[in-house]
């Protein structure tokens, strides 16, 4: 790691600390993630490190997924490091700080969602579940492109070949699919597409759609918003550990999703409601979502104007006509 000069701290999560750094050999700016090791948890961190490396290597070279440059696992006191491309601020920073909660126009949201879904489709085709997609784990570069990052909770589906169940304790609460809250340990890529539906709603509303204070509060908010249509007829529902919860047996109104997004086009709503289908076997896959008419709706590609960066990483800039067309960071 002597080849990298630490410049500044970018962020810190449960699995490690991320720094902005410079490669002394090439001058390239990179992101270096140091995983937490020691304190009696070394073996767990080592397993997490190896799993994250495996998932990042599987997803290399896709424009919507962060690229791994190098990985290093030293002695116990040296730690474990991942060197990745440096992209820019997170989508969460941009939406909640630079835009101060102002929603995106539909064309802007479509541009972001196209890239996120393309990244997710590639991940899933490669047999990788991200298991923590959220705005904090989406980065925005200076050309307006977005990339999914932080594969610390990811795993490859072939690791389940031994029959060991997945853990249900994944995905940050506000973006956690209902089957996870109900205790499912037999889930699939639908947990990632649910999270992408939550991000789509957040882009269009300017704020997270489901802001639960606990798992049960989160589930209640989900059911009150999208209803429970056909949920109980889902073949796996009765086997879920929390299927008998009072929340699952309460009378619910029909979905209120449409009235919450009245300006969204019919094609756009088909994508949103398909990603936020409560019943996982009815939920859109990333590949199916990309085939929806919404992504063919624009008369021309949502091209990004070539403009300099604004102070503080401002997110959207307006075109000459005054219509916001792009994301910059």
Paired sense of beta strands 155-156 and 29-35, if any: unpaired
Compute CA 184 distance to the chain's CA centroid, rounded to the nearest angstrom. 20
Q: How far apart are CA 223 and CA 308, in angstroms?
A: 44
Helix/strand/coil for 229: coil
Task: Give whole-number Cα distances, 9 to 5, 34, 166, 311, in Å.
Answer: 12, 11, 32, 19
Q: How far apart are CA 124 and CA 226, in angstroms?
A: 25
* 132 is a catalytic site residue: yes
The active-site residue out of 132, 136, 145, 192 is: 132
Instruction: Please say whether the beta carbons of 105 and 316 come within 8 A.
Output: no
Q: How far apart are CA 273 and CA 282, in angstroms?
A: 10
CA proximity to 81, closest of 96, 97, 70, 65: 70
Q: How far apart are CA 148 and CA 123, in angstroms?
A: 10
Residues recognised as catalytic: 132
């Amino acid at each position: 790691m002597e080849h990298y000069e630490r410049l500044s701290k970018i962020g810190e999560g449960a699995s490690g600390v991320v720094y902005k750094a410079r490669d002394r050999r090439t001058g390239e700016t990179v992101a270096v993630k140091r995983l937490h090791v020691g304190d009696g948890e070394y073996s767990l961190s080592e397993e997490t490190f190896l799993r994250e490396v495996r998932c990042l290597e599987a997803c290399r070279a896709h424009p919507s997924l962060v690229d791994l440059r190098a990985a290093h696992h030293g002695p116990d006191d040296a730690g474990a490091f991942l060197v990745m491309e440096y992209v820019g601020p997170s989508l969460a920073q941009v939406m909640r700080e630079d835009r101060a909660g102002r929603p995106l126009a539909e064309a802007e949201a479509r541009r972001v969602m196209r890239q996120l879904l393309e990244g997710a489709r590639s991940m899933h085709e490669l047999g990788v579940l991200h298991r923590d997609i959220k705005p904090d784990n989406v980065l925005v570069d200076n050309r307006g492109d977005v990339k999914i990052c932080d594969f610390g909770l990811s795993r490859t589906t072939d690791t389940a070949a031994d029959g060991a169940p997945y853990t249900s304790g994944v995905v940050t609460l506000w973006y956690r699919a209902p089957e996870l809250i109900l205790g499912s340990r037999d889930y699939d890529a639908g947990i990632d597409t649910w999270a992408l539906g939550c991000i789509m709603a957040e882009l269009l509303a300017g704020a997270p759609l489901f802001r639960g204070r606990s798992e049960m509060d989160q589930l209640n908010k989900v059911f009150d918003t999208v209803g429970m249509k056909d949920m109980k007829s889902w073949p796996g529902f009765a086997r879920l550990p929390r299927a008998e919860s009072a929340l699952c047996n309460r009378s619910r109104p029909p979905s209120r999703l449409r009235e919450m997004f009245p300006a969204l086009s019919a094609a756009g709503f088909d994508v949103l409601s398909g990603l936020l289908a409560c019943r996982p076997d009815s939920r859109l896959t990333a590949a199916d979502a990309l085939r929806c008419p919404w992504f063919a709706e624009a008369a021309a590609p949502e091209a990004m104007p070539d403009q300099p960066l604004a102070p503080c990483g401002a997110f959207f800039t307006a075109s000459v006509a005054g219509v916001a067309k792009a994301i910059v960071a």
